[in-house]
């Protein structure tokens, strides 16, 4: 996707504070964090949302959760807990149509969600 901001971050066309990158995923700090740790984890393959995930994407999507665990340890939030959020569609608040996980932690989360 030539106009996708996350694709441009992955390619290095747009600068970001990357905290992880490999052949399948890239992770970077959110520009508008809602907690002391707020990292976006994206597949390097452009997948617009969960609605477009296919069986061929299972390795990529599963890898996002492995990266999330690794980053939670790296950030020191794994023991007290963290939240992983995937927004799908406008009612859920998805603003960028490139599948991504929000890794949020470093403080007690508010409940209820929604």
Q: Respond yes or no: is residue 32 known to be catalytic.
A: no
How far apart CA 54 and CA 77 sit, in angstroms, is: 31
Contact 28, 19 (CB under 8 A): yes
Of the residues 78, 91, 98, 100, only one is catalytic, namely 100
Please give the helix or strand (H or E) that residue 58 lies within, else none. Answer: helix 58-75
Catalytic residue IDs:
100
């Amino acid at each position: 996707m030539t106009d996708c901001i996350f694709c441009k971050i992955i390619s290095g066309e747009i600068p970001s504070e990357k905290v992880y990158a490999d052949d399948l995923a890239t992770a970077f700090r959110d520009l508008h964090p809602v907690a002391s740790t707020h990292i976006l984890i994206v597949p390097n393959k452009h997948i617009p949302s969960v609605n477009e995930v296919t069986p061929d994407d299972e390795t990529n999507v599963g890898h996002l959760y492995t990266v999330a665990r690794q980053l939670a340890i790296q950030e020191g939030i794994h023991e007290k807990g963290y939240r992983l959020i995937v927004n799908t569609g406008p009612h859920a608040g998805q603003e960028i149509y490139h599948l991504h996980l929000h890794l949020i932690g470093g403080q007690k989360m508010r409940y209820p969600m929604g």
